[in-house]
Chain A
Amino acid sequence: MNANPAIRQEASSPQTSKPVVQAKGLGLTFETNDGPVRALADVDLTINKGEFVSFIGPSGCGKTTFLRVIADLEQPTAGEILVNGMSPEEARRKRAYGYVFQAAGLFPWRTIEQNVALPLEIMGYSKAEQKERVHRTLDLVNLAGFEKKFPWQLSGGMQQRASIARALAFDADLLLMDEPFGALDEIVRDHLNEQLLDLWARTGKTIGFVTHSIPEAVYLSTRIIVMSPRPGRVTDVIVSPLPKERPLDIRESPEFLEIAHRVREGLRAGHGDD
């Protein structure tokens, strides 16, 4: 199965291959009261411009930690990492990425448009520019007409869409998403996955996406990073042969099932260690 020509061939030509994230020998050890915990060990990975990369693995495999290292929310203890050719801190100061958390985390005292405008206010955009961008990004996530609503007036899925709009409102080319749909039910999730693919196609952003749903990872990604815990490391990298245009029923196709199978195998192998 590893010899599948489609998979191999795609691997050599991922987009125009300008690296956005480059990690080399990356390691992160947390010092806890019960001794050191190796959250990440020897991670070598490059994410190229325009890719949709999913990180999948059981909890404790370091997938979220890796995303947080890219975002300069955690400091690696070994190896090196570059984001847009800079250190993660520089990249963060230059507002190189938008981050979407598992909880939508909209500020309850702000309306939807004020929430989306939050990063713009902080970054000092003019009022007119803020208005224009809020309008544009809310349109992009199909939330036009909900500008004046407060978060509690929206469903969970809509709140998460608003939080994606918030991450898209400024011009970061990299979108980091940490299990953004993990708390939503299956039907809403399918719907949002479809919309996310559409949004990715329209904006050409690079996306790093953490999930523990196999179908979600396979459906969305151009590349799937399978990780395993203790210590957190990459066990398999799968380049998806699926076309960029993906209707929901592609999930019944043999190619889809084949990749899903390989992901599952990878996850099982990672678990076999302990």
Chain B
Amino acid sequence: MTAAAGTAPAGTKTPVFRRAAEGKTLPILIVLGVIILIWYAFTVYLNAPWQMDAYERAGTEWTAADLVRDTMAQERPVLPSPHQVVAEIWKTTAGTRLTSKRNLFYHAWITLSSTLLGFVIGTVLGVLLAVGIVHNRAMDKSVMPWVIASQTIPILAVAPMIIVVLNAVGLSGLLPKALISTYLSFFPVVVGMVKGFRSPEAFQLDLMRTYNASGTQTFWKLRWPAALPYLFTSMKVAVAISLVGAIVGELPTGAVAGLGARLLAGSYYGQTVQIWSALFMAAALAAVLVGLVGIGQRMVMARMGEKP
């Protein structure tokens, strides 16, 4: 209390800047700045050969300043410059009708819907499997190896087959894509929750036994609350790879909408700016999703009396 009061007068001048300097903001901004600088350097370096060819063919005289300026403004650069990507994102989000197929938000929403559906199914499936593994010896021995084996198969190889097989049985649209997300996202949930359900100590289980508690009571009053921190940690991983799954699911299926379709179209036509802007949209989406799980985690943990 007294310490805060002591710094207050100095802080009143530029509180925002001061807070940024004291907190995590300043280091993050510095790192971001460095990354952008390196990016610009590579933009010039990677795009220069093509640009110099172009000058030669046109027979124009060029200076270093020309080269730097022009490498950052190519239509199909090897590496687009940051401001080109920002401009593209701006144009395809704020500059386009929200319902238009050119709008990046429209594509993000398509991907998001299958991400979320796949994530929810994956989390529920993961929790159920973990419950079975913890409570049933046979399942512990038989299911866990398969769970692990499932993740050694490259998703890119499986994704088209899942789509084709499901189409053959009459399932198309959102669900097959979501199931690819499920395939990836149930894994961290199973592993995390098995650990979480087993986290109560032996004497805590003994304690429940002395109360003659039923298996259900032991589960809901001890194992489940003990496992909740593990659930949120797993869900953070799961939601991020659900997004990867949804994008991968859009790649081999000739999907016409979604961030994956956008990446694919971009690479067909050499639209690197479009690829990069889709990538950034995906990254932003992942950050938001992980952030939301984090907020949920903090709210639940606060209610469960976690030390602040």
B201 near A105 with CB under 8 A, answer: yes
- Which of A73, A110, A152 has the most B CB atoms < 10 Å from its CB? A73
A119 near B203 with CB under 8 A, answer: no
Which chain A residues lie closer than 8 Å to B211 at the CB level?
95, 118-119, 122-123
* Residue B222, interface by CB 8 Å: yes
* Residue A202, interface by CB 8 Å: no
* Residue A103, interface by CB 8 Å: yes
Chain B positions 199 through 213: 1 when the CB is less than 8 Å from some CB of chain A, otherwise 0: 001011011111111
A98 near B221 with CB under 8 A, answer: no
Which chain B residues lie closer than 8 Å to A151 at the CB level?
305
* Residue A30, interface by CB 8 Å: no
Given contacts A105-B201, A110-B305, A121-B221, contact A92 B209 (CB under 8 A): yes
Give the distance in Å from the alpha carbon of A105 to the alpha carbon of B304 in the complex.
Answer: 16
Shortest beta-carbon distance from B66 to chain A in Å: 65
Shortest beta-carbon distance from B165 to chain A in Å: 43
Given contacts A108-B305, A111-B305, contact A98 B210 (CB under 8 A): yes
**Which residues in window 13-32 of B have CB below 8 A to A?**
none
**Closest A residue by C-beta to B214:** A122
Which chain B residues lie closer than 8 Å to A119 at the CB level?
211
- Which of A111, A118, A121 has the most B CB atoms < 10 Å from its CB? A118
B305 near A93 with CB under 8 A, answer: no
**What interface size band does chain A fall in?**
20 to 34
B210 near A92 with CB under 8 A, answer: yes
Give the distance in Å from the alpha carbon of A121 to the alpha carbon of B209 in the complex.
Answer: 14
B221 near A118 with CB under 8 A, answer: yes
* Residue A200, interface by CB 8 Å: no
A99 near B210 with CB under 8 A, answer: yes
Shortest beta-carbon distance from B73 to chain A in Å: 57
* Residue A43, interface by CB 8 Å: no
Shortest beta-carbon distance from A127 to chain B in Å: 16
A92 near B212 with CB under 8 A, answer: yes
**Closest A residue by C-beta to B203:** A101
Which chain B residues lie closer than 8 Å to A146 at the CB level?
none
**Closest B residue by C-beta to A119:** B211
Shortest beta-carbon distance from A208 to chain B in Å: 13
Given contacts A98-B210, A123-B211, contact A107 B225 (CB under 8 A): yes
* Residue B307, interface by CB 8 Å: yes
**Which residues in window 61-114 of A have CB below 8 A to B?**
71-73, 92-93, 95, 97-99, 101-103, 105, 107-111
Given contacts A110-B305, A121-B221, contact A105 B204 (CB under 8 A): yes
Give the distance in Å from the alpha carbon of A95 to the alpha carbon of B211 in the complex.
Answer: 6
* Residue B217, interface by CB 8 Å: yes
Give the distance in Å from the alpha carbon of A101 to the alpha carbon of B209 in the complex.
Answer: 13
Shortest beta-carbon distance from B144 to chain A in Å: 24
B212 near A95 with CB under 8 A, answer: yes
Give the distance in Å from the alpha carbon of A226 to the alpha carbon of B145 in the complex.
Answer: 50
Give the distance in Å from the alpha carbon of A71 to the alpha carbon of B211 in the complex.
Answer: 10
Give the distance in Å from the alpha carbon of A5 to the alpha carbon of B201 in the complex.
Answer: 47
- Contact of B222 (CB < 8 Å), options: A72, A95, A97, A107: A107
A122 near B305 with CB under 8 A, answer: no
B207 near A101 with CB under 8 A, answer: yes
B204 near A122 with CB under 8 A, answer: no
Which chain A residues lie closer than 8 Å to B206 at the CB level?
73, 99, 101
Chain B positions 102 through 126: 1 when the CB is less than 8 Å from some CB of chain A, otherwise 0: 0000000000000000000000000
Which chain A residues lie closer than 8 Å to B305 at the CB level?
108-111, 150-152
Question: Which residues in B have some Cβ–Cβ distance to A below 8 Å?
Answer: 201, 203-204, 206-213, 217, 221-222, 225-226, 228, 304-307
Nearest 8 pairs of A and B residues by beta carbon: A150-B305, A109-B304, A99-B210, A122-B213, A122-B211, A101-B203, A109-B225, A119-B211
14 A-B residue pairs with CB within 8 Å: A71-B210, A72-B209, A73-B206, A99-B206, A105-B203, A107-B222, A108-B305, A118-B211, A119-B211, A121-B221, A122-B208, A122-B211, A122-B212, A152-B307
Contacts A92-B210, A105-B204 known; 9 new A-B pairs at CB < 8 A = A92-B212, A101-B203, A102-B203, A105-B207, A109-B228, A119-B211, A122-B208, A122-B213, A152-B307
